Structure 1
Amino acid sequence: MCTYGYCRISTKQQSIDRQIRNIKGSYDKAVIIQEVYTGTKQDRPEWNKLYKKAKAGDTIIFDSVSRMSRNADEGFCLYEELYNKGIELVFLKEPHINTSTYKKALESNISMTGTNVDFILEGVNKYLMSLAKEQIRLAFEQSEKEVQDLHQRTKEGIETARLNGKQIGQKQGAKLTTKKSIEAKKQIQKHSKDFNGALSDADCMKLIGLARNTFYKYKRELKAE
């Protein structure tokens, strides 16, 4: 039996350390699986590997339900698939939908009595199970809603800025300065015969490893400076 901790961020600019720390804090022997991929899609490379590898008796831990999925329908179906495979699911921030909680709902079914009231007890059992399933579905729906709200706030923020006359994105013709461009320009100044070097444009491009368009763009900017 193996214990895995699945940690996911949507962009490389985000930090995954908090999720790892939270999982390791509760399950110090968990094997951490890390991924940079949007949670609105199930076709994630590292998740797919874990899904195929996990077997009955294994445990998968998530910092929150949003790390598993941010699509309500797919997330709920995935939860049931893993549950039926005998895999334990743990959500640190939503323990009420851990598979252990779901199992308790199954095991706490009211026993039939063999009398005329059994149809009532059967109805109660079905209600308890539907209630457990609804809690799980609601957790995934909330996760999906958070994404939709974020997209809506971003859209509204951009529209507000536009209406207030603010520049959205980079201005046309504006020069974008990055660490890479700064270093590349230093190398052009050092090696290009148009500046302090002795290399032709072709040799300079090969030495620095720049594409033709980028090289000449940087040269124009250097001359303008």
Structure 2
Amino acid sequence: MACIGYARVSTLDQNSDLQHTALKAAGCKKIFTDHGVSGTRASRPELDKMLDHLRDGDEVIVWKLDRLGRNTRNLLALIDDLEGRGVHFRALTEGITTTGSMGRAMLTVMSAFAQLERDQLAERTRAGMAAAAAHGRRAGRREVTAEDRKVRRACELKAQGLKPADIGKIIGASRATVYRYLAMDTG
């Protein structure tokens, strides 16, 4: 029997060190980690590799239940697949394991509550966006036009002979953004 760890972070700038430390302390010799991958996706590169690696009698360990999946249906299907292959599952933070019937029941209940929480958050977000739209506000970044202060300043600096990289340092924008600003110049 091997203890196999799985870690996941949703964005590339997040760090999986906390998960790795906990998984190693739980006895995991091999840890598969997905970086910048949403837990709502059923197929993830490292998760797929881990599933191919697993053998009868192994145990999959995650730091938190939501690291394995954020969609109740997919999570429970994945756990069913593991159990059908003779692989056990354990979530460290929640103290859930599939080795007993009570752990299986708790897993189902907790994943359902996690799904409910995500659904409510999405619903509140949509309601907030609708309320903002009713007051004439739009979600997202505001549109940049040729009349904006930074665009005018970039054009002035370009006329003085500065290079886009230097202009970007002065106005606090990337070189690519400076090129977009300069392309807006109608004068």
Query: TM-score normalised to the size of structure 1?
Result: 0.59
- Residue 7 of structure 1 deviates from its aligned partner by 1.1
Q: How does 1:125-164 map to 2 (within 5 A)?
A: 133-164=104-135
The answer to whether the Cα contact below 8 Å between 1:65 and 1:143 also exists between their aligned partners in 2 is: no
- Residue 46 of structure 1 deviates from its aligned partner by 1.1
Q: Matches of 2:30 and 2:186 in 1, distance apart?
A: 53
Identity over the aligned pairs, expressed in percent? 25
| Structure 1 match to 2:64 | 64
Q: Matches of 2:103 and 2:14 in 1, distance apart?
A: 33
| Structure 1 match to 2:80 | 80
Output the amino acid matched with 1:170: R
**Structure 1 pair 18–149 and aligned structure 2 pair: CA distance change class (3 A):** farther
**Structure 1 pair 77–168 and aligned structure 2 pair: CA distance change class (3 A):** closer
Bigger radius of gyration, 1 or 2? 1
- Residue 221 of structure 1 deviates from its aligned partner by 6.4
| Structure 2 match to 1:44 | 44
| Structure 1 match to 2:94 | 94
Give the length in aligned residue pairs: 167
- Residue 29 of structure 1 deviates from its aligned partner by 4.5
- Residue 87 of structure 1 deviates from its aligned partner by 1.6
Match of residue 142, structure 2, among 168, 171, 175: 171
Q: Matches of 1:48 and 1:70 in 2, distance apart?
A: 16
Q: Indicate the SS of the match to 1:34.
A: strand
Output the amino acid matched with 1:27: A
- Residue 75 of structure 1 deviates from its aligned partner by 1.6
- Residue 13 of structure 1 deviates from its aligned partner by 4.4
Alignment root-mean-square deviation, CA: 3.4
Q: Matches of 2:4 and 2:43 in 1, distance apart?
A: 19
Output the amino acid matched with 2:98: T
- Residue 63 of structure 1 deviates from its aligned partner by 1.4
**Structure 1 pair 164–196 and aligned structure 2 pair: CA distance change class (3 A):** closer
Q: Matches of 2:93 and 2:135 in 1, distance apart?
A: 39
| Structure 2 match to 1:205 | none
**Structure 1 pair 222–12 and aligned structure 2 pair: CA distance change class (3 A):** farther
Give structure 1 stretches of 5+ with no counterpart: 106-130, 178-184, 198-208
Give structure 2 stretches of 5+ with no counterpart: 164-174
**Structure 1 pair 133–28 and aligned structure 2 pair: CA distance change class (3 A):** closer
| Structure 2 match to 1:217 | 180
- Residue 18 of structure 1 deviates from its aligned partner by 3.0
Q: Indicate the SS of the match to 2:89.
A: strand
Q: Indicate the SS of the match to 2:90.
A: strand
| Structure 2 match to 1:2 | 2
- Post-superposition CA distance 1:148-203 (Å, at most 9, x none): 1221232233234334554522222257x9xxxxxxx8xx96xxx98357xxxxxx
| Structure 2 match to 1:55 | 55
Q: Indicate the SS of the match to 2:140.
A: coil
Q: Indicate the SS of the match to 1:82.
A: helix
Q: Matches of 1:219 and 1:20 in 2, distance apart?
A: 46
**Structure 1 pair 169–77 and aligned structure 2 pair: CA distance change class (3 A):** closer
**Structure 1 pair 162–56 and aligned structure 2 pair: CA distance change class (3 A):** same
